[in-house]
């Protein structure tokens, strides 16, 4: 099902703009830059699919840039389109849908029948995964070579459910049952909080991948004004994540393709934007940076409390609460760290700014506003979740929500804006050599909605995304 809306403006005839192009051997990347500089046509391309470093020789007269690029790239399996003075080049979508297996369904509580949101869905022993939305619904696309594999549905506090893919129908209703704790089967042992925290730090190298990985992720950013959607932007991104043993190298993000929803309710009076979403969220990784945990040579910032146990993937996890030793108004957090009871791997973290930190967070959270407008942050909360890949753990999903109350008595503005960001890692591959080019990187000051110029509908068909919840689903359907 297509979840995007394309609003087509007046299209220029392809033959309306023709030029002479003469170049001695030139890289395809330089050729496209030259086209953008010489004409008023922008060229956007998927850096993974286009051989940007290949050399070509060009000597043509009275040719449109669209026809030129089609000629230069004719031997490549690429999809090239022209609309709104922009040429978009992407990997050609296979028409043979048999190479993919597509599933959709809903995950519910096996006893109560309630929808279960944010349930992990993965192919066993492979990096592919997705999650259910806030209504428990999901869509999952896997290659046909997974036919004899197994889907695993896991959720904290519930027993795993396994489905052999060869037996799966296209629509599923998955019933998860809460984990029954049988006291007579539990070996009771005392585990001091200090020992758990030390175990987290000591065993990090064993629990996470100590080679560079390339993560493929789906990022959604939505903004609500007074509970109504006013902006929804989505993107496929790639994250170059260094080894967990390399503390000085930071994650880098490459923007692959984006789309945004048109026709939503217009923002009233205030142009509310979120800055740096994919860039910022790529670097939320508590297991890698050990936020909220003690660090050698530094004074302790947080104090810890034992909050009991839970179950994930049919295995016990410890719940460790943390809060600032001194809540002095600096930006500090409180929350829960969940650690695997055997390996001490961090498997989930929920955290939010303390109430006192929120009162002092305006300068950090709000980059630009007028003096007249009073902007008061009300909520800043986040989570990060990891999933197992063989004997290691990888980032699975990251989410955040920021709510800001905005008031301007002169203009009679009185609104609450809520920005919700979600990152789903759908694939992970070890790649020691790949380096993202500086020109490809998503920058810290980028605004996702502004970076999306053109929507390529076909591109999204074979990517795993977070299915919209009912409210957002209705918005999409109403705008088709």
Q: Rounded distance, CA 130 to CA 216, Å?
A: 12
Residues 35, 66: contact at Cβ < 8 Å? no
194-478: which CATH topology?
outer membrane lipoprotein receptor (LolB), chain A (2.50.20)
Q: Where in the chain are all domains bearing CATH 3.55.50.30? A: 14-91
The Cα angle at residue 465 between residues 460 and 471, in degrees rounded to 5: 110
**pLDDT at site 180:** 65
Q: Nearest to residue 462, comparing CAs of 126, 100, 90, 123?
A: 100
Packing angle of the helix pair 28-38, 65-72 (nearest 10 deg): 180
- Write the DSSP symbol of residue 426: E
Residues 207, 393: contact at Cβ < 8 Å? yes
Residues 411, 388: contact at Cβ < 8 Å? no
Residue 182 is encoded by which pair of tokens? 């049988």
Q: Nearest to residue 217, comparing CAs of 29, 448, 20, 38?
A: 448
Residues 35, 43: contact at Cβ < 8 Å? yes
Give me the residue label for tokens 């309306």: 16
Phi-psi region of 140 (alpha: psi -120 to 50; beta: other; left: phi over 0): beta
**CA atoms within a 13 Å half-sphere pointing along the CA-CB vector of 172:** 27
Q: Rounded distance, CA 263 to CA 471, Å?
A: 15
Q: Nearest to residue 277, comparing CAs of 402, 127, 408?
A: 402
Strand, helix or coil for residue 245 = coil
Residue 204 is encoded by which pair of tokens? 């990090």
Q: Rounded distance, CA 95 to CA 60, Å?
A: 33
**pLDDT at site 96:** 47
Phi-psi region of 157 (alpha: psi -120 to 50; beta: other; left: phi over 0): left
**pLDDT at site 17:** 63
CB burial of residue 143 (10 Å; 0-12, 13-18, 19+): middle
Q: Where are the alpha helices (DSSP H) in 256-295?
A: 277-281, 286-289
**pLDDT at site 437:** 84
Q: Domain 97-184 has what CATH class?
A: mainly beta
CB burial of residue 278 (10 Å; 0-12, 13-18, 19+): buried
- Write the DSSP symbol of residue 180: P
The Cα angle at residue 392 between residues 245 and 461, in degrees rounded to 5: 105
Q: Where in the chain are all domains bearing CATH 2.50.20? A: 194-478
- Write the DSSP symbol of residue 375: E
**pLDDT at site 90:** 81
Q: List b or e across 13-45, with b for residues whose CB sees 16 or more CB atoms inside 10 angstroms.
A: eeeeebeebeeeebebbebbebbbeebebebbb
Q: Where in the chain are all domains bearing CATH 2.60.40.1120? A: 97-184
Q: List b or e across 195-223, with b for residues whose CB sees 16 or more CB atoms inside 10 angstroms.
A: ebbebbeebbeebbbeebbbbbbbbbbbb
Beta-strand ranges (E) seen in 28-127 are 42-45, 55-63, 78-83, 86-91, 100-109, 120-123
Q: Rounded distance, CA 16 to CA 61, Å?
A: 14
Residue 88 is encoded by which pair of tokens? 């978009």
14-91: CATH, from 3.90.700.10, 3.55.50.30, 3.40.50.720, 3.40.50.2000 = 3.55.50.30
Strand, helix or coil for residue 157 = coil
pLDDT values of the chain reduced to their tens digit, one per residue, 480 residues: 222 222 122 233 334 467 888 888 888 888 888 888 888 788 888 777 888 888 888 888 878 888 888 888 888 888 888 766 778 888 765 544 457 788 889 999 988 889 999 899 999 888 888 999 889 999 888 888 888 889 999 998 899 999 888 766 668 899 999 876 554 444 545 578 999 999 999 999 999 999 999 999 999 999 898 888 888 999 999 999 999 988 778 999 999 888 887 667 777 777 788 888 899 999 999 999 999 999 877 788 999 999 988 888 788 899 999 999 998 878 899 999 999 999 999 999 999 999 998 888 877 777 666 666 777 889 899 999 999 888 899 999 999 999 988 887 666 778 888 999 999 999 999 988 888 888 888 988 888 988 887 776 667 777 888 888 777 776 666 554
């Amino acid at each position: 099902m297509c979840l995007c809306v394309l609003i087509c403006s007046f299209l220029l005839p392809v033959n309306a703009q023709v030029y002479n192009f003469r170049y001695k051997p030139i890289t395809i990347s330089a050729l496209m830059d030259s086209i953008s500089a010489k004409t008023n046509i922008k060229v956007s391309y998927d850096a993974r699919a286009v051989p940007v470093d290949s050399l070509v020789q060009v000597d043509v007269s009275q040719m449109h840039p669209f026809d030129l690029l089609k000629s230069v790239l004719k031997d490549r399996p690429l999809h090239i389109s022209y609309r709104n003075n922009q040429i978009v080049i992407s990997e050609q979508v296979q028409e043979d849908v048999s190479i993919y297996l597509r599933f959709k369904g809903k995950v519910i509580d096996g006893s109560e029948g309630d929808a279960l949101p944010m349930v992990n869905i993965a192919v066993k022993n492979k990096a592919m995964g997705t999650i259910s939305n806030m209504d428990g619904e999901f869509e999952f696309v896997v290659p046909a070579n997974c036919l004899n594999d197994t889907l695993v549905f896991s959720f904290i506090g519930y027993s795993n459910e396994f489905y052999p893919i060869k037996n799966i129908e296209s629509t599923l209703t998955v019933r998860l049952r809460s984990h029954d704790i049988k006291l007579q089967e539990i070996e009771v042992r005392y585990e001091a909080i200090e020992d758990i925290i030390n175990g987290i730090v000591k065993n990090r190298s064993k629990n996470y991948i100590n080679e560079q990985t390339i993560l493929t992720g789906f990022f959604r950013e939505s903004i609500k004004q007074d509970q109504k959607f006013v902006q929804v932007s989505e993107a496929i991104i790639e994250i170059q994540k260094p080894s967990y043993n390399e503390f000085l190298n930071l994650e880098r993000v490459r923007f692959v393709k984006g789309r945004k929803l048109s026709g939503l309710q217009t923002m009233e009076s205030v142009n509310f934007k979120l800055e740096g979403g994919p860039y910022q969220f790529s670097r939320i990784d508590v297991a890698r940076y050990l936020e909220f945990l003690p660090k050698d040579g530094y004074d302790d910032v947080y104090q810890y409390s034992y909050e009991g146990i839970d179950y994930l993937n049919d295995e016990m996890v410890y719940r460790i609460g943390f809060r600032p030793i001194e809540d002095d108004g600096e930006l500090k957090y409180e929350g829960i760290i969940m650690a695997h009871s055997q390996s001490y791997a961090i498997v989930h973290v929920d955290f939010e700014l303390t109430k006192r930190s929120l009162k002092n967070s305006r300068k950090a959270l709000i980059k630009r506003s007028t003096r007249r407008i009073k902007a008061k942050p009300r909520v800043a909360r986040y989570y990060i979740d990891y999933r197992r890949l063989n004997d290691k753990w990888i980032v699975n999903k990251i989410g955040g929500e920021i709510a800001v109350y905005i008031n301007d008595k002169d203009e009679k503005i009185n609104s609450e804006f809520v920005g919700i960001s979600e990152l789903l890692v759908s694939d992970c591959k070890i790649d020691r050599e790949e380096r993202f080019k500086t020109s490809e990187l998503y920058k810290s000051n980028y605004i996702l909605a502004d970076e999306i110029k053109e929507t390529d509908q076909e591109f999204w068909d074979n990517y795993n995304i977070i299915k919209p919840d009912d409210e957002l689903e209705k918005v999409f359907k109403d705008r088709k």
